[in-house]
């Protein structure tokens, strides 16, 4: 994932890999977890995912729990429409 990522690209990438953000109240920062079946046909290696997180967080402006929750709801809605969750 390139360093120049806009909000739409970031959301589309998270939808593609079936991953949602959630707020870690202990560390006060957004984290990510996969919510679709692992065998859904989309493969992204762990290194790529881990390198992408800072760019995704920045592009989506997830600095608070409320912002993270809003992004999570958007992604969950799209995944439900696709029948992936």
pLDDT in tens, 29-51: 999 998 887 666 677 777 888 88
Residue at 1 is within a domain: no
| Res 58: pLDDT | 93
Number of domains in the chain: 1
| Res 41: pLDDT | 64
Residue at 74 is within a domain: yes
pTM of the model: 0.85
Residues of the chain with pLDDT under 50: none
| Cα 72 to Cα 20: distance, rounded to the nearest angstrom | 5
| Res 36: pLDDT | 81
Residue 63's domain comprises 7-81
Residue at 69 is within a domain: yes
């Amino acid at each position: 994932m390139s360093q120049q990522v806009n909000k739409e690209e970031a959301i589309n990438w998270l939808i593609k890999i079936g991953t949602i953000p959630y707020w870690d109240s202990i560390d006060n920062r957004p984290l990510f977890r996969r919510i679709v079946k692992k065998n859904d046909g989309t493969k992204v290696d762990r290194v790529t995912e881990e390198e992408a997180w800072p760019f995704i967080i920045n592009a989506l402006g997830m600095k608070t729990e409320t912002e993270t929750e809003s992004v999570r709801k958007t992604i969950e809605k799209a995944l439900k429409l696709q029948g992936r969750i």
